[in-house]
Structure 1
Amino acid sequence: MPEKILITAAGSYGDVAPYTGVGARLRAAGHEVVLATHDTYAGLVRAAGLEFRPLPADPRAHRPDPAGPARPAGPGSRRALLRRAAAFIEELGGGIADAAHDDTALLLLSATTAPLGHHLAEALDIPSLDLPLVPGAPTGDFAPVVGGGRSLGRWGNRAAGRLSLRVIDRLYAGATAALRTRLGLPPATPRAVRRRAEAAGRPVLHGFSEVLVPRPADWRPGLEVVGNWWPWHAPEAQLPPVVEDFLAAGPPPVFLGFGSMAAGDGERLGDLAVRALRRAGLRGILQSGWAGLTTRHTGGHADVLTIGDVPHALLFPRTAAVVHHCGAGTAAAGLRAGVPTVPVPVTADQPFWAHRLAALGAATAPIPFPELSADRLAHALTQATAAPERRRHAAGAAHRLATEDGTGAVLKAVERLRG
């Protein structure tokens, strides 16, 4: 039976889609590749020519109440968020074990699945490779990416980074204990397993660009920044005719979308976006996303088009600017297109990427989601589209991104591990 590479990835679209690009590159080099993720993304995985295996805890099926407000969490809500995260991880642990079959020869692990996958690799006695999309190791250069992007000074940044790892260890403690029992492994805490990996110098390849985050000099050897992994799409893929017609009907529009954020807030956000676009004198394309962004309740507008999912790589280069929540993948996609960004971060690592884009000169100052208004968005849109220096900075960054080969670095690492 041929041996297979198993990639495991869990979370929202942005947490999963980049691994279709990795898998397609490995497959093109002759490897047999399986991508285990949630049922929601089965079509995406199979379209890339990869074998699909299911993981439980699909966040699309268990997203927040769509009738509830889309607002960042307060202290009490953060505790509830941590409880939900722990429950998600508990459910994910059993699925990780089921995804590996007798033919699995190598594990490639996303940041979410790595703390579980390491135990599976130990039980199967096979190598594994961590492939996170965000920086996670402590450094003096910046605070943990979930900390909002504000530096605490070099000592404070490192201390906060170590504390962040301990929080993650606690989140995975229950799932780790259950998984090790199921796999017949002796008890070991997540912290102990993590420290063993660090001491062994286990390689970790980060799927983002040094254009946005230069590799910290105080990282240990083996922690590498290799460049972005772009979601796979068919070489012959084209934008839907309705999008092409809209693009041809006037000047380049602004893209607005919030990905997996702001569930159930679509009508409010759609109305806000239309008012902002009109005040700025711009056309717009609204991507519905999990928020259900729409203008139907306002009767529709000839200068605004609402769409479903389309490849950002095809649409973004044809826009005047992009407005989004600044998840890692969307932030990189806007930069790759060479267009200015208006960041509206909601939670998690999004403020980190928003501040990185602004510091690069390719984005306006971030607008925190709870402060978003038609007036603030209109002002930011004018800044993004009327200031040529932002487009120049974005275009320069795009040129540098075009020289990187993130999936090629993964391929080389895989072949070293399997050789």
Structure 2
Amino acid sequence: MRALKDYFELAAAGTIAAAEHGADIIMANAVAPYACDVAEAMGIPAIGAHLQPSEPSTAYAPMALGAARNLGPLGNKLLGQLFAASKAPYDPPTRQLRKSLGLPARSRAASERLRRKHRAPILHGFSSLVVPRPADWHEGIVNCGYWQPPADPTWTPSQRLLDFFDDGPPPVFIGFGSTQALEPDFIMDVAQRAGRRIIVQGEPEIDEPSVLGIGAVPHHWLFPQMAAVVHHAGAGTTAAGLLAGVPAVPVPIFTDQPFWAQRIHQLDAAAQPIAYKHLTTRRLAASIDEVLANEDLASGAQRIARRLAAEPDSSIPVAKALEQLCN
């Protein structure tokens, strides 16, 4: 939380700087509540655009717990409300931002209670197939389906990467996004124990016969060519794996990752999650072997991918919500 303090101060200042260029609506994610304060000062609407379910509900415990435990309907709802009212790293920049914008003093928790009272709209960039819509959400909270980043038409894979794919059976992907959670020696030990070809994202200096390190490669291109994907179960990487229809080995670390890891396991699209604090090379190699040998997981991942592909365009609910706010 201490490490996030500087980040949120910069993000709050950046929100003001961006909005000052001119905006009709501000869309705010779950960790940018100060965006709603900027919208209030500018006299324009704000709308939530979240990648994880953060509204207190009887259906799930709060994401901030960093755990996938279900505390029962009453426990989930009460704890969600407590977390919504508790201190957060974006509270100080929100307080300072309101002061600098000449807005009346009001805590972030009080502002969020006010938005709930007025049933402020929230759009979710995930599918109800993965997170069924809780019955206690108000009508302004919408699951739009997965929002996919636009493809860069100028991007092409390196010849090094293409040659690796051509040189053997589909490899296993290992990547932990910006967390940089695994050391190269750990990954090489996993590859040796599992006896599998592996592509490692975030370690481009690795270039071995059976292990290739890569930098930034679009997941929508990369994942469909994998036998399985090992990842930290962040919202975006989880979505990419589901859309690609490949089974996963989730290794959640914090915040919403245990929630997503448990969801894809319950959907029969992933192995039992391995908590990062319990991760060993032996355990990860065994889980990779288990996933590759389990035809039910492969078919489960393909089944959910087909159902996601059949969903309506996820941008349509966004366009409708924006149109309503502008009228």
TM-score range normalised by the length of the shorter chain: over 0.9
Alignment of 1:144-155 (within 5 A): 144-147=62-65, 148-155=67-74
Tell me whether 173-182 or 146-155 shows the greater mean CA deviation: 173-182
Give, in whole Å, the separation in 1 of the partners of 2:167 and 2:3: 46
Aligned in 2, Cα 1:138/1:286: closer, same or farther, shift over 3 Å?
A: same
State yes or no: 1:238 paired with 2:151.
no
SS at match of 1:260: helix
Partner of 1:117: 35
Give the C-alpha shift of residue 408 in structure 1.
2.5
State yes or no: 1:108 paired with 2:13.
no
Partner of 1:417: 325
Letter in 2 for 1:412: K
State yes or no: 1:368 paired with 2:253.
no
SS at match of 2:173: strand
Give the C-alpha shift of residue 324 in structure 1.
0.7
Partner of 2:3: 84
Aligned mate of 2:12, from 93, 101, 104:
93
TM, length-normalised to structure 1: 0.74
Partner of 2:212: 305
Give the C-alpha shift of residue 389 in structure 1.
0.7
Cα RMSD (Å): 1.8
Identical aligned residues as a percent? 41
Give, in whole Å, the separation in 1 of the partners of 2:186 and 2:227: 19
SS at match of 1:232: coil
State yes or no: 1:273 paired with 2:187.
yes
Q: Any stretches of 5+ residues in structure 2 without a counterpart?
A: none
Give, in whole Å, the separation in 1 of the partners of 2:185 and 2:204: 9
SS at match of 1:135: coil
Partner of 1:283: 197
Aligned residues: 325
Partner of 1:135: 53
Give the C-alpha shift of residue 293 in structure 1.
7.2
CA contact (8 A) 1:324 1:330 kept: yes
Give, in whole Å, the separation in 1 of the partners of 2:153 and 2:90: 39
SS at match of 1:365: coil
Letter in 2 for 1:219: W
Give, in whole Å, the separation in 2 of the partners of 1:201 and 1:250: 54
CA contact (8 A) 2:31 2:90 kept: no
Aligned mate of 1:324, from 228, 231, 239:
231
Give, in whole Å, the separation in 1 of the partners of 2:152 and 2:9: 35
Q: Any stretches of 5+ residues in structure 1 without a counterpart?
A: 1-81
Aligned in 2, Cα 1:376/1:194: closer, same or farther, shift over 3 Å?
A: same
Give, in whole Å, the separation in 2 of the partners of 1:84 and 1:250: 43
Letter in 1 for 2:228: A
CA contact (8 A) 2:204 2:215 kept: no
CA contact (8 A) 2:47 2:121 kept: yes
Partner of 2:259: 352
Give the C-alpha shift of residue 152 in structure 1.
1.0
CA contact (8 A) 2:204 2:212 kept: no
CA contact (8 A) 1:143 1:150 kept: yes
CA contact (8 A) 1:360 1:393 kept: yes
Give, in whole Å, the separation in 2 of the partners of 1:340 and 1:200: 41
SS at match of 1:104: coil
Aligned mate of 2:173, from 243, 255, 261:
255
TM, length-normalised to structure 2: 0.93
Partner of 2:101: 183
SS at match of 2:291: helix
Give the C-alpha shift of residue 347 in structure 1.
1.4
Give the C-alpha shift of residue 222 in structure 1.
0.8
State yes or no: 1:407 paired with 2:315.
yes
Give the C-alpha shift of residue 236 in structure 1.
5.7
What does the per-residue CA deviation read over 1:230-260, in whole Å, with 9 as the maximum and x for residues that have no partner?
Answer: 1222246432221111111110000001111
Letter in 2 for 1:362: A
What does the per-residue CA deviation read over 1:162-200, in whole Å, with 9 as the maximum and x for residues that have no partner?
Answer: 1111125x5433222221221121222222221221122
Partner of 1:333: 240
